[in-house]
Amino acid sequence: MSTIAFIGLGNMGGPMAANLVKAGHIVRGFDVMEEAKTKARQNGIDVQESATAAVEGAQVIYTMLPNGKLVDAVLTEVLPSASAGALFIDSSTIAVADARAAAEKVQAAGHRFLDAPVSGGIVGAEAGTLAFMVGGDEEVFGEARPLFDVMGRSATLCGDIGSGQAVKICNNMILGVHQIAVAEAMVLGERLGLDPQAFFDVVSNSTGASWALTTNCPVPGPVPNSPANNDFKPGFANALMNKDLGLAKAALEETGTSAVLGQAAAAFYQETVDAGFGDKDCSYVIELVRDR
């Protein structure tokens, strides 16, 4: 069993750290928000007064933070206090370039690094069923694997540092496009007089099927626990989708890649957030399609 420092005990990091505690690890945590700290204490996390204090004596230093800037700030703060040869794992969703810069900084100080973003949302974090997509060295991945197995149901080594983040933004660019495509088709179906259940029964078994329909169906009824049945409580919030599509858009521009639909999805989610719906599930775009 390891001593793990866990920095960022929010919606995702909190339950992930709690699952590590349940598996018998010692977890020394830190977050800047009182609410996150209180909840973490209730879940058996040894909450410290600073990130620096949390990393003392830890073999593994885990970060689950809102963005790349904060990941860099936290790493810069804790590096001088990290034990020799510590394993740093960052599961935040950040730019590929930021993950590479973080790895360089950590490795230059004699430690190891993996980028390991996740898919599966808060439900997956709580249930320990996340999917980890990992970038880094194979041996280091092998060392981290038992932790991924506690917090998730799959972990895939995707290539060198940054490749976990690369696959994450590619996946979410597909999801953004799918969620809008499903919304547009369902609204068209409604206006052609189709019952949404009939639409669902056919399309979910046809070539138009996708997670955006079969799990995250944007109309209430066909999938009883999709967010549409619960006032679009996320799920995967528009604000997070917008963040990930912003990362995808930057990567498209950096690599000179044309993606007409990816760019359109990024613009649509930006509009959704600007209209004040950042905290609704990403399937909420169906309401904007109806209004357009």
- Segment contacting ligand NAD by CB under 6 A, of 29-37, 81-89, 190-198, 269-277: 29-37
- Segment contacting ligand NAD by CB under 6 A, of 60-68, 147-155, 181-189, 270-278: 60-68
Total of chain residues touching ligand NAD, rule CB under 6 A: 27
Residue 276 DSSP label? I
Site membership for ligand NAD, residue 128 (CB under 6 A): no
Q: Which of 1, 22, 33, 274 is in the footprint of ligand NAD by CB under 6 A?
A: 33
The Cα-based distances of 2 to 24, 65, 146, 173, 200 in angstroms read 9, 21, 11, 36, 47
Site membership for ligand NAD, residue 74 (CB under 6 A): yes
For ligand NAD, which is the closer residue by CB, 73 or 188? 73
Site membership for ligand NAD, residue 70 (CB under 6 A): yes
- Segment contacting ligand NAD by CB under 6 A, of 68-76, 106-114, 150-158, 196-204: 68-76
- Give the closest residue to 8 by CA, choosing from 133, 55, 111: 55
List of residues 6+ apart from 152 with CB closer than 8 A: 118, 120, 124, 128, 129, 130, 131, 132
Q: How far apart are CA 26 and CA 48, in angstroms?
A: 13
Would you call 168 a catalytic residue per the annotation? Answer: yes
Site membership for ligand NAD, residue 11 (CB under 6 A): yes
User: Considering 22, 37, 69, 168, which one is annotated as catalytic?
Assistant: 168
List of residues 6+ apart from 252 with CB closer than 8 A: 258, 259, 262, 263
The Cα-based distances of 288 to 90, 153, 202, 242, 264 in angstroms read 34, 34, 24, 15, 14
Site membership for ligand NAD, residue 176 (CB under 6 A): no
Contact positions vs ligand NAD (CB under 6 A) = 7-13, 30-33, 36, 51, 64-66, 70, 73-74, 92-93, 118, 121-122, 236, 240, 243
